[in-house]
Structure 1
Amino acid sequence: MVNLKQIHELPPILANQISAGEVVERPASVVKELVENAIDAHSTQVDVTVENAGLKLIKVVDDGDGIDADQVQTAFLRHATSKITEQRDLFRVRTLGFRGEALPSISSVADVVLKTSTGAMGTEVTYKGGKFVSQSASESRKGTTVEVRSLFYNTPARLKYLSSPNTELAKISDIVNRLALSHPEVAFSFTSNGRELLRTSGRGDLLQVLGAIYGVKTVSKMVPIQSEEPDLAINGFVSLPELTRASRNYISLILNGRFVRNYPLTRAVIDGYGSKLMIGRFPIAVINIKLDPALVDVNVHPTKQEVRISEEPKLGHMISNAIRQMLATKQLIPDATRDFKKPVSSRSNDYPSESPAISAQPQGQPLFEVPSETEGSNLADDDPIVIKQRDDLNGPRVAKWDRLLAEEPTSVPIFGETGFRLADDSNPAKAAEIQSQPEQQDLVGESGFPNLRYIGQIHGTYLVAETPENMYLVDQHAAQERINYEHYRKAIGEVSDDQQKLLVPIVLDYTTSDFLLIMEKLPLLQKLGIHLEQFGQNSFIVREHPMWFKAGQEEATIKEMIDWILNDHKISVAAFREKTAIMMSCKRAIKANHHLDSRQASALLARLPECENPYNCPHGRPVLVKFTNEDIEKMFKRIQDPHRTDEEII
């Protein structure tokens, strides 16, 4: 029985195993530590090989500096490192690893063989379960090779907490992908059970790395951003609003070459899109941040993925502005044919047949999700599956990059046989009125938005319009939502004393807890022109409301605004105004199955270019989509798709 009063020093192996619990959580942690060491050793090539999701073997080979023979065993001691020498180095960390715990922690829970050379005769050292076994000379090329076998064999309790082989392999792939994105100047390869899953060129081309990970068609929808100030700079790529994913895990923040997690900066990326993103959808982004190391504390967490940044608000504002300014220069009307491409099977055989879907997790977030068995047969070739083979971008085919990036998706017919109503189908005079409209001189006006000419309506829901070069389908509800939203956003932001008296005051009843919370938030409501008076116990009375409220919806609008406060205790004035503007714009917009005459439709189209963002409704849905003349000619076989084979045409 342990004497709890007896203080004693832990044996080195046990201390290393405890440390391993922080540093080596799973196979992906081993890969991260070893690859970061390779990058710190100035490697230009790093090859990662795993077997059985890393539990049987993890092998990392680099061409870096190597380790001198008389220092190899020192590298396996706790807190031994070549990356810091004094206290002030902790506050200007310029390397990825520096704690000196990786090798001793890994070797304490596995069998490790390390071969290394600085260019002369090499050295090979072996450790089993944290115990030194042997050291000998070996003929090694310059660099270091680390083989980790039988991970966690002597800590079986750790194995119980690992996920399925599918999930563990996905986490390893996520780590390798993030490191490749962080260091495009390093050539990476990643192989699992003999199958190559990733290869990058190491030419310093971030776009090529993005293509190797995400696929060419996905990357063709990403655009560069850049901004610089005296103390910090950012650059990278973000997706156009039409290219989104269901989680934030596709946003990669790279700080001084280190992948980090930082919610405020991730939020800044999303905020840069404003209302251009659909609710619940998130962009793909890789943001490189260059910051003075003195302004960053990376010693907050054992894995060094969580950091403190002294210039965080300034940096977040910089990121949001860079994205906002980039999007302002882009024509954001989605191509109507982009989603009608032939699905390509891209499923890997590397996972067992029962491979489950992997959901986003707070720790070790996967860069991509692995599809379930039922999803795998319908995947398009731009679905971001970490386990698929990228033949078009790997090995000798890297040269095909420029050509593949320019490829267009295959077009197919999408129209049905019924439901199209010309503007003149009920009144010939309307047709004459539209035909007499002046000819449009240019496809795009100064605002970058097309100068649309109304043609007709489909199903009382979609407006058909044209320019000299393209045809457009406009969602009339989304269009008016956008127009209304910008009107209400301005009105709410300029709250005046103009109030409409209610003939019959509104009485609102709440529970005691809700009543107390609302009392705290009365100043917030007043900033939007909502004045609540206490009326008995746990009740409020409303005697007037802002002029911009829709008649007949006063009570419902006020209740909904109060519900936001009850659901989000920390809601800001800006967020409150945004939510209110979105709610009001939706309530007053034209609904589907509502037929417009030509004057109403033309007036709606004429107001769109006046909007700050005419491309999306406040919920992020597209307002309109485009068909080029070439798209239409392909649909009717007037021209052949150059990407189709002779067999497909026949």
Structure 2
Amino acid sequence: MGVIKQMDTALANQIAAGEVVERPASVVKELCENAIDAQADHIQVEVKEAGIQQIIVIDNGHGMIEEDLHHSVLAHATSKIYSLSDLFQISSLGFRGEALASIASVAKVRMESTWNGDNQPAQSGHYIEVENSKLTKQGTCPPRNGTTVQVDSIFYNTPARLKHLASLQTEMRHILKVMQDLALAYPSISFTLIVDGDQILQTVGKGDLKQTIAQLYSPQQAREMLAFDVTDLEFSLKGLISPPTLTRTSRNYIHWIVNGRTVKSPFLTNVLTRAYGKQLMIGRFPISFIQISTDPRLVDVNVHPTKQTIRLSKEDELAKLLTQAVETTLRQNRVIPEAGTSLFKPSRPYQQNKGQLDGFSQSSYIQESNQPIHNGEQAKPSSALEANFEPTQTTRELTYPSDFSHSISESGEKEVFEQEEAKPIIDFSQLRYVGQIHGTYLVAEGPTSFYLIDQHAAQERIRYEKLMADQVDVTQQQDLLLPKLFSFDLKTAQLAQEYGDHLQEIGIILQPFGPRSYQMQSHPTWVEVDELDHLIPDLLDRLSRQDNLSVNELKETSIIMQSCRGAIKANHRLAEAEAIHLLAEMNDLDDPLHCPHGRPVFIEFDPTTIEKLFKRIQDHHLGGRAND
């Protein structure tokens, strides 16, 4: 007797559900996409216990007749495609016919629907109840335009998967992200989210993307966004991007919508960040909401069960159009600094007991962040000295920080010696300031070499070491005359609820003040008050990606963020006195070679290097010296 047997329907559906239904948010996504395909202009989602206990999705779409209602829960039953050719020109969100069958295999489902496609008032609707892929009840119900799907007790029959769900706060955060993504992709649809009886999200559905952003994030952020709308023969791009002054610490705020489908695209994200060029600080990413419309035949959405990964034809043409659109938009909305304003922010008096926080170094922050720099290279830890700073022949006489003392042999190879006490590398205060290049780099001349200094990286390092020199005491608080109010977007508010205890460990105490608002009565003395609006969302975003940070790691992370934002930006002209003061401050640094992210602060050009560049000295393998 053969051993190969066909699986029964329930088992096959549960296997498919493992790919389609990863968590309650997957159910919300699939049901809302069905509602969108049904031409609904209002979708209401109700969840209990982050969707684990119950999910209800109500839409006012065209509904289903009784026969289609029964067919909808069968595996691979769909109204979206009928032939192989349809698979290569998909214009709907759903098309595989797996979602409802998969959901019905791992939860208890009740569906009510009334067909309203004939423009005739329906006399009644119909309902079915399905459990473990089997129809348990059916009948008629009062007519109501559209479809209502109620999903109870998700994963009740697969306890192993139920056990491995995350906390309620984390599962709720995933649901919020799904709702936000759909609302941004379809601003003409009104979305409502009710959680445990409380309405926490509602969009008006008027078709205005900025209005939707104002409702989901904040009116201030919506006002700052820059709009563009461009078209070529193959693609139409329309959306909003943030100015370089409005950024985040991760790529999670970059939204791509291709033919109405929210997708992830590392390729497009890299194109976008490269288009910003040097206007973005290291480790910062823009906020964007970009809709791409193209012929469905140029898009392959049948790549992954979640349908969030796609393949695009003619990517080069799309990249060129996107780059031109972003560069033009930024150029037309360039902010010019006001004349006469000081580019230096006041800082605390410098203490001599400089050093890192116990048990943590900035290199671990850099390694975890894994953020690329603008030229496409990854930022390296500060300990990887040779990756960021190439010593020249004269560098043999310089002494590096105590943990990495290098020397250059006569053959040009680096040699690493035992640790020794750190000594000054260069007396920056004795350098002669020459001038500034492109509002970004300072030129300074020494007795035997000249130096190019990145002004942003230099002051970032100065601020970092000054802040690190202060022995941070999280118990020291500065009372505020009036409580400081924070109005967060839904995602950040959820993170504040989830990770509030982590922030308290470093002295940042947030008190709920409404559905999306928090207040602060005092702030830690080691945090600058004008940094709080940016620092707290950035820290919460970091915690969402790495929630096991120690107290010391959190403190250093916040200090790096403060030092980066407060430092001089590129393309800012410095007065001669300001530049000379910056050079003098560099003389007191423990590590003037690297900014807190690991990038080089300066590059040295000695006579040998210059002579090689001008071919006055030939390479060793050629021998001899070039003729004068």
TM-score (norm 2): 0.59
Which residue identity is paired with 2:229?
Q
- Contact 1:189/1:198, CA 8 A, preserved across alignment: yes
* 1:124-135 matches, cutoff 5 A: 124-135=127-138
Structure 2 residue corresponding to 1:95, chosen from 92, 97, 102: 92
Whole-angstrom CA distance in 2 between matches of 1:157 and 1:167:
18
**Partner of 2:329: helix, strand, or coil?**
helix
| 1:520 matched residue in structure 2 | none
Q: Relative to 1, partners in 2 of residues 1:87 and 1:268: Cα closer, same or farther, differing over 3 Å?
A: same
Q: How does 1:199-598 map to 2 (within 5 A)?
A: 199-333=202-336, 343-346=484-487, 355-356=498-499, 388-389=515-516, 457=578, 460-461=581-582, 498-501=614-617
Q: How far apart, in 2, do the equivalents of 1:161 and 1:280 lie?
A: 32
Matching residue's letter, 1:140? P
Name the counterpart of 1:114.
111
Q: Provide the C-alpha distance between the structure 2 equivalents of 1:251 and 1:460, rounded to a whole number of angstroms.
A: 38
1:6 is aligned with what amino acid? Answer: V
1:180 pairs, out of 177, 183, 186, with: 183
Match of 2:388 in 1: none
Structure 1 counterpart of 2:74: 77
Larger mean CA deviation between 174-183 and 187-196 belongs to: 187-196
Q: Distance in 2 between matches of 1:286 and 1:192?
A: 26
What letter is aligned with 2:90? Answer: V
| Cα separation, 2, equivalents of 1:265 and 1:458 | 38
SS in structure 2 of the partner of residue 114 of structure 1: strand
Residue 408 of structure 2 is matched in structure 1 by none
Cα shift readout 1:471-510 (whole Å, capped 9, x = no counterpart): xxxxxxx9xxxxx99xx9xxxxxxx98424179x6xxxxx
Partners of 2:580 and 2:615 in 1: CA distance: 39
Flag structure 1 segments of 5+ consecutive residues without an equivalent: 358-369, 392-409, 413-448, 463-477, 479-483, 489-495, 506-532, 534-540, 546-650
Q: Is the 8 A contact 2:259 2:293 kept in 1?
A: yes
Secondary structure of 2:72 counterpart: helix
User: In the alignment, which of 56, 59, 62 is matched to residue 62 of structure 1?
Assistant: 59
Give yes or no for contact 2:192–2:203 (8 Å, CA) kept in 1. Answer: yes
**Aligned residues between the structures:** 410
Matched-pair contact (CA < 8 Å) for 2:113–2:148: yes
Kindly state the Cα deviation for residue 333 of structure 1 after the two structures are TM-superposed: 4.2
* Map of 1:194 onto structure 2: 197
Change (3 A) 1:211 1:69: same
CA separation in 2, counterparts of 1:237 and 1:544? 57
CA deviations 1:559-588 (Å, max 9, x no partner) are xxxxxxxxxxxxxxxxxxxxxxxxxxxxxx
CA distance in 2, matches of 1:41, 1:134: 24
The letter for the 2-side match of 1:193 is D
Unaligned regions of 5+ residues in structure 2, if any? 117-121, 346-479, 519-528, 532-570, 584-594, 596-600, 606-611
Deviations 1:373-404 (A, max 9, x none): 668966799xxx9x95389xxxxxxxxxxxxx
Q: Provide the secondary structure at the position in 1 that maps to 2:62.
A: coil
**Counterpart in the other structure of 1:37:** 34
Deviations 1:421-458 (A, max 9, x none): xxxxxxxxxxxxxxxxxxxxxxxxxxxx99x8969759
Residues 486 and 517, structure 2, Cα contact 8 Å, conserved in 1:
no
One-letter amino acid of the structure 1 residue matched with residue 615 of structure 2: Q
CA offsets 1:219-238 (integer angstroms, 9 cap, x no match):
22210122110111101000
Residue identity in the other structure for 1:161: H
CA distance in structure 2 between the partners assigned to 1:252 and 1:23 by the alignment: 22
Tell me the residue number matched to 1:167: 170
Q: Per-residue CA shift, 1:508-557, capped at 9, x if unaligned?
A: xxxxxxxxxxxxxxxxxxxxxxxxx5xxxxxxx99999xxxxxxxxxxxx
Cα distance in structure 1, aligned partners of 2:625 and 2:304: 53
SS in structure 2 at match of 1:49 = strand
The structural deviation recorded for 1:87 is: 1.1
Contact 1:297 1:309 survives alignment (8 Å): yes
Secondary structure (helix, strand or coil) at the match of 2:617 reads: strand
* Paired letter, 2:103: I
Looking at structure 2, the residues matched to 453 and 26 of structure 1 have their Cα atoms a distance apart, in angstroms, of: 53
Tell me if the contact between 1:346 and 1:388 (Cα under 8 Å) persists in the aligned partners: no
Contact 1:196–1:389 under 8 Å retained in 2: no
> How far did residue 325 of structure 1 move?
1.0
SS class of match (1:134): strand
Mapped partners of 2:73, 2:251: distance in 1: 37
Partner of 1:627: none
Report the CA distance shift for 1:544/1:161 in structure 2 as closer, same or farther (over 3 A). Answer: farther
Shift of 1:178: 0.5
Q: Does 1:157 align with 2:298?
A: no
1:439 match: none
8 Å contact from structure 2 (residues 78, 97) kept in 1:
yes
Secondary structure class of the residue paired with 1:83: coil
Structure 2 CA distance for aligned equivalents of residues 240 and 411 of structure 1: 20
Partner of 1:138: 141
Instruction: Give the match's secondary structure for 1:125.
Output: strand
Q: What one-letter code is carried by the residue in structure 1 that aligns with 2:498? A: S
CA pair 352-379 structure 1, distance change in 2 beyond 3 A: closer
Residue identity opposite 1:117 in structure 2: T
Between the aligned partners of 1:12 and 1:69, the Cα distance in structure 2 is: 22
RMSD (Å) for aligned C-alpha atoms: 4.1
Q: Deviations over 1:121-154 (max 9, x none)?
A: 1111111222211111101310011111100010
Distance 1:411 1:151, change over 3 A: closer
- Distance in 2 (CA, whole Å) between partners of 1:240 and 1:352 is 25
Shift of 1:71: 1.7
Would the alpha carbon gap of residues 86 and 500 (structure 1) be closer, same or farther in structure 2, given more than 3 Å must change? same
Q: Measure the CA separation in 2 of the matches of 1:28 and 1:21.
A: 14
Specify whether residues 71 and 244 from structure 1 end up closer, same or farther in structure 2 by C-alpha distance, changes over 3 A only.
Answer: same
* Cα distance in 1 between the residues matched to 2:623 and 2:162: 61
Deviations 1:162-190 (A, max 9, x none): 21111111011001100110000100111
**Contact 1:76/1:104 (8 A) holds in 2:** yes
**Cα distance, 1:70 vs structure 2:** 2.1
Instruction: Report the CA distance shift for 1:544/1:200 in structure 2 as closer, same or farther (over 3 A).
Output: farther
Alignment match, 1:584: none
Of 7, 11, 27 in structure 1, the residue corresponding to residue 8 of structure 2 is: 11
CA–CA distance in structure 2, aligned partners of residues 285 and 259 of structure 1: 13
Give the superposition deviation at 1:209.
1.0
| 3-state SS, counterpart of residue 158 of structure 1 | helix
Q: CA deviation at 1:351?
A: 6.6
Which residue identity does 1:499 align to in structure 2? K
Contact 1:355-1:373 within 8 A present in 2 as well? no
Distance (Å, rounded) in 1 between the aligned partners of 2:275 and 2:138? 55
Residues 375 and 37 (structure 1 numbering): CA distance in 2 closer, same or farther, change over 3 Å?
farther
The alignment status of 1:28 with 2:20, answered yes or no, reads: no
Aligned-partner residue type, residue 355 of structure 1? E
**Paired residues of 2:485 and 2:517 also in contact (CA < 8 A):** no
C-alpha distance in 2 between matches for 1:315 and 1:157: 44
Distance 2:239 2:209 in 1: 8
